[in-house]
Amino acid sequence: MEQERSLESLAATLEVLTAAAGALEQAVNRLEVQHSAMSGQVQRIVATVDAPLAQDRIADLERRLQEAMGQIAEMKAQSTAPVATGRKTLAAPAIALLAKQGIANLDSLEAGSLDAAMSSLSIEQRIAVKSQLLRAGLLG
């Protein structure tokens, strides 16, 4: 009799455990469904949040590109403009060479008179004097 009660008790416990296992399986299935639904929602939220940020980034990059293009245009315009050196003096040897050739006034220097005055100089000396005149801004 005791064995029968033990067997009945075991059978009841087995039924309770079987019902608990079934309930656990249902709970796991519900959690899996919720997890898949939530991961889909999170992906949509992330995509929704990233879209305006990407548009702001693109607008910022376009603005920076326009600024860079403007700076390049300014630099090109400045590079084509003649550069005024502001220097109006020559080295002492160049002044001495010109003075020997009869050119004392450097303000009204003309190419023809300069060539005539430097005709007795060697080609290297002519080049040196003309390059100094160009650097000084006296020849155009």
Q: Rounded mean pLDDT of the chain? A: 77
Residues 6+ positions from 87 with CB-CB distance below 8 Å? 135, 136, 137
User: pLDDT digit string (tens) for 4-58?
Assistant: 888 888 888 999 999 999 999 999 999 988 888 777 665 555 655 556 667 788 8
**CA–CA distance, 22 with 15 (Å, rounded to integer):** 11
**Least confident window among 53-57, 79-83, 102-106:** 79-83
pLDDT for position 81: 58
Both tokens assigned to 49 = 């949040």
pLDDT for position 50: 59
pLDDT of 121 > 70? The answer is yes
**CA–CA distance, 140 with 130 (Å, rounded to integer):** 11
Contact criterion met (CB below 8 Å) for 66 and 97: no
Work out the angle between the directed axes of helices 92-100 and 123-136 (0-180°, nearest 10): 120
Average pLDDT score over residue span 67-71: 92
Which position has the higher pLDDT, 73 or 94?
73
**CA–CA distance, 84 with 17 (Å, rounded to integer):** 100
CA 97-99-101 angle, 5° bins:
75
102: left (phi over 0), alpha (psi -120 to 50) or beta: left
pLDDT of 120 > 70? The answer is yes
Instruction: Quote the percentage of the chain above a pLDDT of 70.
Output: 69
Both tokens assigned to 124 = 């290297």
pLDDT of 110 > 70? The answer is no
What are the extents of the domains in the chain? 1-81, 92-136
Whole-model pTM?
A: 0.29
pLDDT for position 19: 92
